[in-house]
Structure 1
Amino acid sequence: MIDRSQATSWARRLKVRHLESFLVLEEAGTLTEAAARLHMTQSAMSHWLAEMEAVVGTPLVVRGRRVQLTPAGHLLKRLAVGVLGDIARTGREMHAVAEGRVPRLNVGSVWAGIAGGLPEAVSAFQQDHADVLVSIHDGPFDNLLGGLETRALDAVIGVLDARAHRPGLEHRVLFEDRVAIVIGQGSRHWGRSAGLGFADLLHENWVMPPGGTLTRIQMDAFLIAQEASWLVPKAETASLAMMQALLHKGDYVGVCSESMADYMASLGLLQKISIDAGIRFGPITVVWKREHASATLMDFVDCLVAHASARQRPPAP
């Protein structure tokens, strides 16, 4: 086994300037052109290259009319691109922090939030905060809330319930959502869903979220009210992609949030089934840790509220 100190000893002699110059040489193609770009003589450039090859212990280029990278040269190029990219990114983030700005936002969201204005809010936010990276994570609300405590996440979008009222948390309501019943292109009812109702689908194959999730709890309550508590799903999944695949490939009926159903229907991927009584899902809210709030985060929250409100408004005639 190679000792770690031996494996990295050569890298201790490398400088950032070495990596920058090596990328210039590879791009320029000749020592003469690289020397001109680096404002040094050709002999100095040759000396620098020999010094660098001595550091790594193997030739990095094959000299000719145009230099060609050796296998070791390609490895060093990969290192140079990665290291210099990290340095540049960290420099931008430090500059942002020095100016009181946040260089990165980590946002968690349930399906409903993603379909209810989150992409539009991110786009609008980055028009004024072009240097802020927004990293989006989806998953169950409980799992995402844990990220607020560890600071892995800056904000979480989910259903307003007791979990959003924990000590130290702040929230703003985005929109009211419902549970929807949908079919996909694999259904024998595809294309004629307008005349269908809940009663027509009682004996179909159902795909539902797992037991214990909010969507499933609300759906089960609806089934009891409709005296259809005997209905059990043929498949359960917490994955939107899997539900969509099942509805697309097989003769199933699905259950999801209405915001997601509307979004998928707008893309021609799902069709909603009308039901006599709405199935309440709950208010969708954005939650964040009070002590971790920043001006950048609050600007993002404002964008979320604005675009969620726009979703609720009827389209202009």
Structure 2
Amino acid sequence: MTELIRSGLKFSHLRILAALRETGKIGAAAQHAGMTQPAASRLLAQLETMLGTPLYVRHAQGVVLTEAGRTLADQAIATLRDLDRTHQQIGQIASGTRGHVRIGSVTGPSLDLLLPVLREIRVAYPDIQTSVNIDTSDRLAEGLIADELDLYIGRIPDQADARPFAIKTIGPEPISLVVRLDHPLSGRSGLTIDDCLPFDWVMQPPGGLLRRTAEAYLLERGRPLPRRVLGTTSILFTLAHVNETNAIAPLARAVASFFIERGGLGSRLSILPVASDMAVGDYGIVTRTEEALSPAAAQVFDLLGRYSRSKE
């Protein structure tokens, strides 16, 4: 095909030959291709000159393509079909119904916000491909600036230069205290935060946002910190440890609800009815200030925003 293009092959040549393959008549092929019959005959003659071989043979009912004509016509049909498909895909990309969107999220919102939005994307925009990175806001912010993410659900880190970031605030992230179902505090009436302090706690390592939030909650109310704390970044290990011991774990309420109320651990873990006002500060949908979202990423951004408002 490259040599033919150098010899002067045009799309009009492909269109008339493809139409001739389908109709078997030059007049009908010309009408199908939107040109006059003399123009069609001229294009076919040019093609035969380029190739140095006849492409069709006339007969009483019209024309019959030669083997060379059928070979080139089949290629012309395939090429035009591929171009139509490409044009459609470009239109989908421009309209935001096709593309690849790289999404980051902190753990809690990934369960109660991102999961349902991904389900909606799968149904409403099946040609949008997504990849998801679950991490801390610090790391997600680094990934956004490095162009490894298109957007993330989380917070702008306190120590970061906020100028490269834009955030659509959603709200605070509530925290629940999780224990095993037959924990000594389960079912106790009049439970207070003081009742929880003699037990071991399982939290993020020192410096983690959720741990800082839980510690600040206690200190602001004049309470001491738990004496024994197991530090881990693994939610799965946290849940397993709580299930096997009397430890207490502060977890994002979305995580606690997902694993306890809807998950397979529902019969083995429970949420203590205490410290219901404990919450991590506002989070939102974070993007880059100086770079517009791709149409597909903009669709995801809008869906996240709409879903978060519907939960209010």
User: What TM-score range do you get, normalising by the shorter chain?
Assistant: 0.5 to 0.7
Match of residue 311 from structure 2: 311
2:10 alignment counterpart: none
- Identity percentage over the alignment? 19
Aligned to 2:302: 302
Change (3 A) 1:186 1:243: farther
Residue identity matched to 2:136: P
Q: 1:145 aligns with which of 141, 147, 155?
A: 141
Question: Which of 284-293 and 181-190 deviates more?
Answer: 181-190
Against the structure 1 CA distance between its residues 230 and 296, is the aligned structure 2 distance closer, same or farther, given a 3 Å change threshold? closer
Shift in alpha-carbon separation, 1:154–1:224, aligned structure 2, 3 A: same
What amino acid is aligned across from residue 295 of structure 1 in structure 2?
P
| 3-state SS in 2 of match to 1:187 | coil
Alignment of 1:103-118 (within 5 A): 103-118=99-114
Aligned position for 1:6 = none
Cα 1:277–1:188, aligned 2, differ >3 Å: closer, same or farther? closer
Counterpart-to-counterpart distance in 1, 2:130 and 2:305: 17
Q: 1:253 to 1:213 in 2, by over 3 A?
A: same
CA contact (8 A) 1:180 1:256 kept: yes
CA distance 1:99–1:310, shift in 2 (3 Å) = closer
Residue 169 (structure 1) aligns with: 165
- Is the contact between residue 174 and residue 304 of structure 1 (CA under 8 Å) also seen in structure 2? no
C-alpha separation in 2, matches of 1:224 and 1:108: 32
Q: 2:235 aligns with which of 230, 233, 240?
A: 240
Which residue, out of 99, 119, 128, partners 2:124?
A: 128
1:19 matched residue in structure 2: none
Judging changes above 3 Å, is the alpha-carbon distance between structure 1 residues 99 and 139 closer, same or farther for their aligned structure 2 residues? closer
| 1-structure distance, mates of 2:144, 2:285 | 12
- Please give the alpha-carbon distance, in whole angstroms, between the structure 1 residues aligned to 2:171 and 2:103: 18
Note the 1:1-317 alignment, pairs <5 A.
95-96=89-90, 99-100=93-94, 101=96, 103-159=99-155, 162=158, 166-185=162-181, 187-190=183-186, 192=187, 196-267=191-262, 268=266, 270-275=269-274, 278-290=277-289, 291-312=291-312
Between the aligned partners of 2:189 and 2:220, the Cα distance in structure 1 is 23
8 Å CA contact 2:137, 2:156 repeated in 1: no
CA distance in 2, matches of 1:164, 1:141: 11
Preserved CA contact (<8 Å) 2:137 2:157: no
Indicate the residue corresponding to 1:57 in structure 2: none
Query: Secondary structure at 1:116's aligned position in 2?
Result: helix
* TM-aligned CA distance change 1:137 to 1:161, over 3 Å: closer
- Secondary structure of the 1:305 match is helix
Given that 1:209 and 1:255 are in contact with CA atoms closer than 8 Å, whether structure 2 keeps it comes out as no
Distance 1:184 1:218, change over 3 A: same
Cα drift, residue 177 of structure 1: 1.7
Partners of 1:218 and 1:294 lie apart in 2 by 35
Cα deviation for residue 128 of structure 1 reads 2.3
Residues 194 and 210 of structure 1, relative CA distance in 2, 3 Å threshold: farther
Give the Å deviation of 1:263: 2.7
TM-aligned CA deviation for residue 189 of structure 1 = 4.1
Secondary structure (helix, strand or coil) at the match of 1:117 reads helix
Aligned-partner Cα distance in 2 for 1:187–1:265: 15
3-state secondary structure, aligned to 1:157: strand
Question: Per the alignment, do residues 276 and 287 of structure 1 end up closer, same or farther by CA in structure 2, a change over 3 Å counting?
Answer: closer
Counterpart of 2:202 in structure 1: which amino acid?
V
Partner Cα separation in structure 2 for residue 199 and residue 162 of structure 1: 30
Gaps of 5+ in 2: 1-84
Contact 2:199 2:226 in 1 (8 A): no
